[in-house]
């Protein structure tokens, strides 16, 4: 069963009298252990599609299933809970808190819940992304590639089924980007998660198990 499945999804944005159809009857699915990369020209609907997959926005038409459960009509609170437990996010500019150590940044998504202690998993994840000797460093004491590794560890802290990455290599040089892609490939297999990324980076396309090309809101 697909971990995430979008069926016949349409997304329309209304601004004044103008309607933009950003997604036109899109079908999309991703499986565990698979890296799917979404590419396409600027304005083709990539971010809109990633926002639907990440349950950050709702479709105008169509259905979204997470692990076989139809979440299309979930309330905002229910979607927030699904996002928290099932989906990890990685961004181009890392989004780390500057005053926290690497370990604290990784633990951050679990801080609100005092019933779980994720400290050990945070340390374990940091070891696994090669930062076992950087646990107490703050972001400004880390390189760009190391910061992105902290962000990846943070995205995995709640054991999600899906990792969503928006241009994860966008701010990295080619060599550092390659090590991040190798890291993602390994974690995808170890954690048995689906990774869905948006990228302009041709190198990243080379690491994908499957490439989805969007043009003008349609999958080619
Ligand atoms: N909130 C919004 N309100 C109105 N129109 C929007 C909104 N968000 C996106 N759009 C429009 O929807 C279309 C798809 O936008 P989207 O951001 O998904 O493109 P993209 O492929 O991510 O582009 P880029 O590569 O530049 O990031 C564009 O025509 C855009 O102008
Ligand atoms: Mg975009």
Q: Please indicate, yes or no, if residue 66 is contained in any of the structural domains.
A: no
| Residues surrounding ion ligand 2 at CB below 5 Å | 46-47
Burial class (CB in 10 A: 0-12, 13-18, 19+), 151: buried
Judge whether 5 lies within some domain: no
CA 40 – CA 218 distance, rounded (Å): 10
pLDDT of residue 201: 83
64 assigned to some structural domain? no
- Which ligand is nearest to the Cα of residue 46, counting in written order? 1
Nearest alpha carbon to residue 145 among 125, 164, 163, 169 = 169
State whether the beta carbon of 44 lies less than 6 angstroms from ligand 1.
Answer: yes
Q: In this structure, is residue 177 part of a structural domain?
A: yes
Instruction: With respect to residue 144, please indicate whether it lies within any of the assigned structural domains.
Output: yes
Report the nearest-CA residue for atom 12 of ligand 1: 22
Task: Please measure the distance between the N-terminal and C-terminal CA atoms of the chain and give it in whole angstroms.
Answer: 23
Structural domain includes residue 67: no
User: pLDDT by residue for the chain (220 residues), tens digit each?
Assistant: 899 999 999 999 999 999 999 999 999 999 999 999 999 999 999 999 999 999 999 999 999 999 999 999 999 999 999 999 999 999 888 899 999 999 999 999 887 777 778 899 999 999 999 999 999 999 999 999 999 999 999 999 999 999 999 988 888 889 988 998 999 999 999 999 999 999 988 888 899 999 999 999 999 9
Q: Whose CA is nearest to atom 24 of ligand 1?
A: 42
Q: Quick one: which atom of ligand 1 is closest to the CA of 198?
A: 22
Query: Distance, CA 9 to ligand 1 centroid (Å)?
Result: 15
Query: What per-residue confidence (pLDDT) applies to 171?
Result: 87
pTM for the whole structure: 0.92
Query: Could you tell me if the CB of 52 is within 6 A of ligand 1?
Result: no
Question: What pLDDT shows up at residue 203?
Answer: 85
Q: Is the CB of 46 under 6 A from ligand 1?
A: yes
Domain that holds residue 39: 31-58+73-219
Check residue 25 and report its DSSP letter.
E
Which atom, in ligand 1's list, is nearest to the CA of 45?
18
Report how many domains make up the chain. Answer: 1
- Exposure string of 158-177, with b = 16+ CB inside 10 Å and e = fewer, is bebbbbbbbbbbbbbeeebb
Torsion sign, CA atoms 170, 175, 176, 180? positive
**Exposed / middle / buried, residue 57 (Cβ in 10 Å: 0-12, 13-18, 19+):** middle
The Cα 159–Cα 148 span in angstroms is 18
Task: Confirm or reject: Cβ of 60 under 6 Å from ligand 1.
Answer: no
In whole angstroms, what is the distance from residue 101 CA to residue 188 CA?
25
Ligand positioned closest to the Cα atom of 38: 1
Residue 26 lies in a domain: no
CATH of the domain at 39: 3.40.50.300
Residue nearest to atom 30 of ligand 1 (CA): 43
**167 assigned to some structural domain:** yes
Q: How far is the CA of 20 from the centre of ligand 1 (A)?
A: 9
Chain Cα centroid distance, residue 4: 12
């Amino acid at each position: 069963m697909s971990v995430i499945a979008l069926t016949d999804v349409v997304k329309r944005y209304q601004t004044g009298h103008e309607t933009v159809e950003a997604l036109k009857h899109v079908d999309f699915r991703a499986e565990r252990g698979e890296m799917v990369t979404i590419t396409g020209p600027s304005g083709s609907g990539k971010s809109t599609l990633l926002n639907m997959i990440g349950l950050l926005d709702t479709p105008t038409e169509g259905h979204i299933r997470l692990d076989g459960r139809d979440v299309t009509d979930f309330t905002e609170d229910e979607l927030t809970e699904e996002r928290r437990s099932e989906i990890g996010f990685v961004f181009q500019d890392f989004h780390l808190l500057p005053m926290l150590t690497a370990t604290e940044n990784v633990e951050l998504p679990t801080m609100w819940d005092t019933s779980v202690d994720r400290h050990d998993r945070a340390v374990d994840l940091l070891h696994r992304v090669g930062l076992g000797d950087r646990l107490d460093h703050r972001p400004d004491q880390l390189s760009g590639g190391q910061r992105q590794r902290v962000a990846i560890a943070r995205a995995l802290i709640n054991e999600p089924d899906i990792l969503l990455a928006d241009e994860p290599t966008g701010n990295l040089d080619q060599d550092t980007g390659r090590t991040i892609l190798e890291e993602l490939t390994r974690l995808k297999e170890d954690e048995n998660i689906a990774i869905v990324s948006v990228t302009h980076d041709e190198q990243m396309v080379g690491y994908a198990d499957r490439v989805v090309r969007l043009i003008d809101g349609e999958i080619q």
